[in-house]
Structure 1
Amino acid sequence: MASLKSSDQTSRTSQPNTEINSSNLPNSYFLNSNENSSNILVTQPLLGIKNYHSWSRAMILALTAKKKIGFINGKITELDPESPLYEDWLSCNTMVISWMINSMHIDVSSSIMYCQTAREMWLELQKRFSQGSGPKIYNLQKEISNISQNQMTVTEYFTRFKKLWD
């Protein structure tokens, strides 16, 4: 009787599961019913080099919370169009691109609107806005060396210092 059970279990588990539906999609390809392309994940729009670092950090946090960070960090790569999961990948990739575009000033978004993948868009923004510049670094160092508490509370002073330092 024990041997009958083990052979029965083996035959059930040895059959491959070829059916793909929403219940067995990878978490990264799952879109909740309340997620749509008009959602704005980051309330402070990307203006350019002025706020790129804070915007990118906020976007990373939002995409991580939605389990979509792999679309921009390269861990989830484009699938072959023949793959049974391609449409799910494409849908999620398009959603991430929409979320990014909705969180940018129109001057920024119009210049990168035609990137094919979220990863490509992320890298283009990074290349364009994360460049450190000598004069900017010099000015920040100068501001840090001249900062004084004056009438600020300790919390305000620390926050200002930390913002400059970061």
Structure 2
Amino acid sequence: MTGEKGDGSKKPEGRETIDTNSPYYIHASDYPKQMQVNDVLNDNNYNEWKQEMRNFLLAKNKMGLVDGSVEKREASSPMHTTWIRADAMIKGWLTTAMKKEIRTSVRYANTSSEIWQDLEERFEKEGAPRAYELK
């Protein structure tokens, strides 16, 4: 018997499966240390890095975990562990695509969303003067 749970998961015969359209779905070929962008994030390429990483995350249907639109599940939720696993994969993708000094500074972030917000706060400010200079 298969039952929809309304969160992208199904339970056929007592076994949990994740719908491939779910943001929690992780393909068998995905792994945390995959390099998903052409160049690692450094002090001078945030806007380009962000666009490439955003496109990758959108293609993988994971941007919702990063931008917070897919909220962290409560510990009592049956999907809590699934959320943690998907977010850990994203954290691996993000940090693998960073220069070591930047990676070290976000090492203790609890979620991929915290990493994304930290990078935005840190680098968006630096991009504003450069954009002004280009005009």
TM > 0.5: yes
Match of 1:154 in 2: none
One of 17, 21, 30 as aligned partner of 2:16: 21
Closer, same or farther: CA 45–30 of 1 in aligned 2, 3 Å: same
Closer, same or farther: CA 64–24 of 1 in aligned 2, 3 Å: closer
One of 81, 93, 103 as aligned partner of 1:109: 103
Closer, same or farther: CA 117–56 of 1 in aligned 2, 3 Å: same
Amino acid paired to 1:46: L
The answer to whether the aligner puts 1:91 opposite 2:85 as a matched pair is yes
One of 23, 28, 32 as aligned partner of 1:37: 32
Q: What runs of 5+ residues in structure 2 fail to find an aligned partner?
A: none
The answer to whether the aligner puts 1:127 opposite 2:106 as a matched pair is no
Q: Tell me how far 1:22 sits from its aligned partner.
A: 1.4
TM-score, normalised to structure 2, is 0.83
CA distance in structure 1 between the partners assigned to 2:36 and 2:91 by the alignment: 11
CA distance in structure 1 between the partners assigned to 2:133 and 2:30 by the alignment: 41
SS class of match (1:38): coil
Q: Tell me how far 1:43 sits from its aligned partner.
A: 2.1
Q: What runs of 5+ residues in structure 1 fail to find an aligned partner?
A: 1-11, 142-166
Closer, same or farther: CA 53–82 of 1 in aligned 2, 3 Å: same
Amino acid paired to 1:79: R
Q: Which protein has the larger Cα radius of gyration, Structure 1 or Structure 2?
A: 1
Aligned residues: 127
Closer, same or farther: CA 24–47 of 1 in aligned 2, 3 Å: closer
The list of structure 1 runs, each at least 4 consecutive aligned residues, that deviate by more than 6 angstroms after superposition, is none
CA distance in structure 2 between the partners assigned to 1:110 and 1:23 by the alignment: 32
Amino acid paired to 2:27: N
TM-score, normalised to structure 1, is 0.68
